Amino acid sequence: MARIIVTADHATQHDAPVLLDEGVHSVHLSTDHAARQLVERLIWALADAEDVERAQSARDIPRRSGDRTDASRSRRVPAVPAAV
């Protein structure tokens, strides 16, 4: 049986999380509906892998002591322009 395995690409770590590990058969591509479902699962796993990679990269970048964390930036509310 063939398998599709998606992991985050951690060049320095051997314990990269497995985000998709699925056995596949030709029946998974036998109809448009089944193929779409498989591709949708792949898309989710790839998006999750990209998130893991971004988080890993953010941890690897040294920050100055006054810098905000990524989490604090994501919670920042954008300024509303004043009415003219």
Each residue's pLDDT, cut to its tens digit, for the chain (84 residues) gives: 899 999 888 655 667 788 899 999 999 999 999 999 999 999 999 999 999 888 877 777 665 555 444 444 444 444 444 444
Res 83: pLDDT: 47
CA distances from 55 to 6, 26, 41, 81 (A): 17, 35, 21, 32
Residue that has been written with the tokens 């898309």 in this structure = 43
pLDDT at 78: 45
Domain count, the chain: 1
The pLDDT value given to residue 71: 45
Quote the DSSP letter at residue 30: S
Domain that holds residue 54: 25-61
Query: What amino acid occupies position 69?
Result: T
Q: Is residue 48 part of a domain?
A: yes
Query: Is-above-0.75 flag for pTM?
Result: no
**How many CB atoms within 10 Å of residue 8?**
19
